Amino acid sequence: MSKLKVTNLRNIGLSCGVMILSTAGILHTFLGGGWSKKTGEAAKLYPRIIYGILIVVALSLLVMELAGRVPPEPPAIAVVKWWQPLLILAVGVAFFLFVLYVGTAAGILLYLCGTIALFDEDPKKHWKMDLLVAVIATAAMWLIFTRILPIVTLKQLLI
């Protein structure tokens, strides 16, 4: 066995994780709740086959890893820390809810200002440009989503 790098461990972890989940999945098709009245045996057969194949594939992956293959991880994805996806998703949810319950224009503008500042290396220095871009983008998006798209259904479309 050659030395285990991070990617090796990750792949091993992946294989084990998939195997565990698949076994749980198969058990679920036999035992668990969450099925509706209509679900018959036939509907459950296919997931079982899939889980089965997953276990086989994960196992072979595990075997190959232990035998010593080491593909390197590309630099771009290596940078992602665990909390970053959560942050972005939270921002997405907040943005959408804001637009839905408060208003499109306000929501987009607030969101853009916030996220651009989040991305910017030096918000204090660039705030004028950032604000300008945010306003223009808000205007464009507001136009597209509230005027151009719905308006096409109006009978009075002039051509």
Partner 1 sequence: MKKLLAVLLAMAMMLALAACGDTGSQNNGGQNGENQSGTGDTNTDQNNPSSGEVTFDKTIKLIVPYDAGGGVYNAAIIVAAEAQKYLGTTIDVVCMAGNGGQEGIEYVYNQASDGYTLLATDYGPLISTAIEEDVVYQLDEFTPIIEMTQVLPTFFVKSDSPYQTMEDLIEAAKANPGQISVGHGKFHSVPHLPLMLLEDLSGADFNEVPTSGGSEALAFTLGGSVDVGASVPSTVAGSVAAGDLRVLAVAAEDRAPEFPDAPTLKELGYEVSMPAWYTIFCKSDVPQEIRDALEQGLADVIASAEAQETAAASNVTLTGTGSAESYTLYNNTIRDLTTLLG
Partner 2 sequence: MALGEVLVQALGSAFQPMTVLYAFIGVALGVTVGAIPGLTGDMAISILLPFVYKVDPTMSLGLLIGIYKGSMFGGSISAISFGVPGTPAAAATVEDGYPLAKKGYPKRAMLQALYSSVTGDFFSSILLIFLTIPMGQLAIQFGPTEFFALYVFSLVVIAILNRDSRTKGILASVLGLLIGAIGTDPVTGASRMTFGIKLFRGGFATVPVLVGTFAISELIIQYANAHREKILYKLGQAKERLTIDLNKNKDDKYGWKHYWDTFRCTVVGSVIGTFIGILPGAGSSIACYLSYGVGRSVAKDADEFGKGSLNGVAAPEAGNSATCGASIIPLLAFGIPGSATAALIGAALTMQGINPGPTMFSANQVIIYAFFIIVLYASFFNLGVSRLLIPLYAKISKMKPKYLIPIIFALAILGCYTTDNSISNVWTLLLFGALGVVLRKFRIPLGPFVLGYLIGPAAERSLRQALSMNGNNLMVLFQRPIAIAFYIATVAFIFIICYTFKKNKETLDKGAHSDDE
Closest CA to 8 of 74, 58, 68: 68
Rounded to whole angstroms, the Cα distance separating 55 from 17 reads 10
Say which entry of partner 1, partner 2, none residue 105 contacts (CB below 5 to 8 A, set by partner kind): partner 1
| Given 1, 31, 67, 157, the residue binding partner 2 (CB under 8 A) | 157
d(CA 34, CA 39): 10
Where in 41-80 is the site for partner 1 (CB under 8 A)? none
Closer residue to partner 1 in complex, CB, 56/86? 86
Contact call for residue 37 and partner 1 (CB under 8 A):
yes
Paired tokens of 4: 């285990």
CB of 52 vs partner 2, minimal distance in Å: 10
CA-CA distances (angstroms) from residue 7 to 59, 60, 68, 71? 17, 16, 11, 7
Site for partner 1 in 88-107 (CB under 8 A): 89-90, 93-94, 97, 99-107
SS3 at position 121: coil
Told to check if 145 binds partner 1 by CB under 8 A, we report yes
> Of 72-111, which residues contact partner 2 (CB under 8 A)?
72-77, 79-81, 84-85, 88-89, 91-93, 95-96, 99-100, 108, 111
Least distance (Å) between residue 34 CB and partner 2? 5
- Strand boundaries in the chain, DSSP class E: none
With CB cut-offs between 5 and 8 Å by kind, which of partner 2, partner 1, none does residue 102 bind?
partner 1
Indicate the angle between helix axes 83-101 and 104-119, nearest 10 degrees.
160
